[in-house]
A and B are shown apart, each in its own frame.
Chain A
Amino acid sequence: MTVAPAPTATGSRHYREPGSVVIEIEDVTKEYKMGEEIVHALRGVSLNVRRNEYLAVMGPSGSGKSTMMNMLGCLDTPTTGKYHFTAKDVSSMSDDELADIRNREIGFVFQTFNLLPRSSTLANVELPLIYAGLSPSARRDRAIAVLHSVGLGERMGHKPNELSGGQRQRVAIARALVNNPSIILADEPTGNLDSRTGEEIMQLLEDLYAQGNTIIVVTHEEDIARHARRIVRLRDGLIESDVRQN
């Protein structure tokens, strides 16, 4: 488990040398049918993401940002082009194979947290491990360890509606981390939080990055994107710029 034991001081800025390629996107397009009309959400995008990168995908609404996020998260497959995830060809995978990739390789963090409302914190965090087929005791141990690492060791029996927004997002992050994924994919992770709590969550992501996780944040907020070490900007379904910032 590559998780920080406790948040480090705000403002510290780690930089890790990127490792092997995790995501390899080659000239990907995506088309939707919206009624009679065909929407070209992505018009030919190529992108490589390596391990230990902290990447922000930016763009105004309608830029193809959400489609990009769904594609990166293996929730969707491209219309044309190639997508390799850890050298495996995602573009030709079946639904169940995609589900396995999402389960083992990707940790999702959503704007609206997307926790199961009637399950406890612990049960929410255990859920990916259930689908991964772990034994109940192994699941429990791992979920408890991860919850401690995000500072929620005391909240494991609470239901989501008994937690604050920041705490809920921490649960979601714990859930994303619990199966030790190759990437953490955060979609507007601070969108439903006040700016102070949002900053705390970004610090948590920063710490996770410092621990060696690969993080992709999809956002339209410059403040959030500034945390990343590399910013990819989309416009009209194309990559407008791809800038590293240390």
Chain B
Amino acid sequence: MNFREILQMALGSLGVNKLRSFLTMTGITIGVFSVIGVMTTVTALRGSIESGISQLGANAFQFQKYPAGFNNGNNRKFQQRRNITVKEGQRYQQLMEGVAEIISLELYDFGAQGAAQATYLNRKTSPDLTFAGGNQYYFPANSYTVGVGRNFTQADIDLARPICVIGEDVNKKLFPAESGLGKVIKVRGRTYAVIGILAARGTSFGQSQDGLIIVPITRFAMEFGNTRQSLNIATQAPSHDLYNETIDKAITAMRIARGLKAEDDNDFDLFSNESLIASFAKVADAVAAGSFVISGIALLAAGVGIMNIMLVSVTERTKEIGIRKSIGARKKSILAQFLIEAVAISLAGGVMGILLGVAGGNGLALMLNASVVFPWDWAAIGLLVCSGIGVGFGFYPAWKAASLDPIEALRYE
């Protein structure tokens, strides 16, 4: 008697008690759903974050007032730090001469008017543009390239010229038919001449990265500078090999620029692609561990449910077992039949849980603007665990069935 026939037999008897089999299966489905759902979400987010974060650029790191991460911005300790000023940024730049060339000074206005809208004649962009001050290194440090026109020059920065470099989204909106170069656009009541248009970079996390207007940092500080603004300083190490060395030197330079004494702690934070990924990974690992515990408990409970229903089934079908034995079923045939029933319930529940989990997890990931993934590894592990549960919790009932005395079993009514 081969496996396929035992399988058919097992599925046949599961079909007899459809509702019961389905309910028993549900326990497994819930357990698998929770872990697959969470792991799908985490995998999708991790993939997006790892690609999305590279906007910082290769071998780049950044100094800023607040630490990178999640909801640290409100911490009083960080709020009380002095803002990083443009002056300090320029001093740092000087100190880093010969160590790193690409040093991007960035000033964002995260106040009430964080986002901005640009107009040209009667045309308008969407009101959610990134509007920031930067220097000539803003673009390489943030993985942008100037497509048309030119970058800022040191003179533009030094003289705080009223000019700007715009992203492709802005260009398309304001200048659908003509070239934008040399045109004067209006942002927050000020006017800037367009000197460069960035090459399109596409979307990350479902958001366009081409909706930005960058003006010389000195001009930005002059026109919009306020006490709430603090500089971000992105530095790109010359090579991967010099990355750590550059960070060490940069910290020293930053301390000098900030006027810190030897005994003072750093009053600024450093973050890099690695530190961002690591801080996300920490959160993701905690979530994953939590979901493992929860689904482990759910699966254990579901396994007990399977054992229970299989024991009921064995008792109900005592007569059937007696008949099968009387006409020549060996012990292992009966054992296999009931074991496969248990595994089939468990696997069916697992498959259902995986499908629901992948659907749910990707749904959540899409809401968070991450791309769709199918976690093959977790699905495979899920199926393996389900088979294990089926065998583990189905073995005792199956063994009980196989060990029934044929005479007693035949007599059972």
- Which residue numbers of A lie inside 8 Å of B, CB to CB? 70, 73, 75-76, 95-96, 99-100, 102-104, 108, 110, 114-116, 118, 127-128, 130-133, 136, 175, 179
Q: Does B406 contact A (CB under 8 A)?
A: yes
Find out whether the CB atom of A99 lies under 8 angstroms from the CB atom of B331.
yes
CA distance A73 to B328 in the complex (A): 11
Q: Given A116-B320, A118-B16, A133-B1, A127–B327 Cβ distance below 8 Å? A: yes
* Least Cβ–Cβ distance between B337 and chain A, in angstroms: 11
Q: Does B94 contact A (CB under 8 A)?
A: no
Q: Given A99-B328, A104-B328, A114-B323, A130–B1 Cβ distance below 8 Å? A: yes
Q: Given A75-B406, A114-B410, A127-B324, A99–B329 Cβ distance below 8 Å? A: yes
Q: Specify which chain A residues have a CB less than 8 angstroms from the CB of B12 in the assembled complex.
A: 118
Nearest 8 interchain pairs by C-beta: A103-B328, A131-B328, A128-B327, A99-B330, A96-B330, A102-B328, A114-B323, A75-B406
Find out whether the CB atom of B5 lies under 8 angstroms from the CB atom of A130.
yes
CA distance A131 to B1 in the complex (A): 6
Q: Nearest B residue to A128 by beta-carbon distance?
A: B327
* Cβ < 8 Å to A, chain B residues 38-71: none
Q: Specify which chain B residues have a CB less than 8 angstroms from the CB of A116 in the assembled complex.
A: 320, 323
Find out whether the CB atom of B329 lies under 8 angstroms from the CB atom of A131.
yes
Q: Specify which chain A residues have a CB less than 8 angstroms from the CB of B406 in the assembled complex.
A: 75
CA distance A128 to B1 in the complex (A): 10
Q: Does B407 contact A (CB under 8 A)?
A: yes
Contact of A99 among B13, B320, B325 (CB under 8 A): B325
Q: Does B91 contact A (CB under 8 A)?
A: no
Of the A-B pairs whose beta carbons lie under 8 Å apart in the complex, a sample of 19, sorted by A's number, is A75-B326, A75-B410, A76-B407, A95-B330, A96-B330, A96-B332, A99-B331, A103-B327, A114-B319, A114-B326, A115-B323, A118-B12, A118-B13, A128-B328, A130-B5, A131-B324, A131-B327, A133-B1, A179-B328
* Least Cβ–Cβ distance between A67 and chain B, in angstroms: 9
CA distance A133 to B16 in the complex (A): 25
Find out whether the CB atom of A95 lies under 8 angstroms from the CB atom of B407.
no
17 further interface pairs, Cβ-Cβ under 8 Å (given A114-B410, A116-B320, A131-B327): A75-B410, A95-B330, A96-B331, A99-B328, A100-B328, A102-B325, A102-B326, A103-B329, A104-B328, A114-B323, A115-B323, A127-B327, A128-B327, A128-B328, A130-B1, A136-B5, A179-B328
CA distance A110 to B328 in the complex (A): 15
* Least Cβ–Cβ distance between A14 and chain B, in angstroms: 28
Q: Specify which chain A residues have a CB less than 8 angstroms from the CB of B330 in the assembled complex.
A: 95-96, 99-100, 131
CA distance A35 to B37 in the complex (A): 56
Find out whether the CB atom of A73 lies under 8 angstroms from the CB atom of B326.
yes
Q: Does B266 contact A (CB under 8 A)?
A: no
Q: Does B333 contact A (CB under 8 A)?
A: yes
Q: Specify which chain B residues have a CB less than 8 angstroms from the CB of A73 in the assembled complex.
A: 326
* Least Cβ–Cβ distance between B67 and chain A, in angstroms: 67
* Least Cβ–Cβ distance between B230 and chain A, in angstroms: 76
Q: Specify which chain A residues have a CB less than 8 angstroms from the CB of B333 in the assembled complex.
A: 131
* Least Cβ–Cβ distance between A174 and chain B, in angstroms: 12
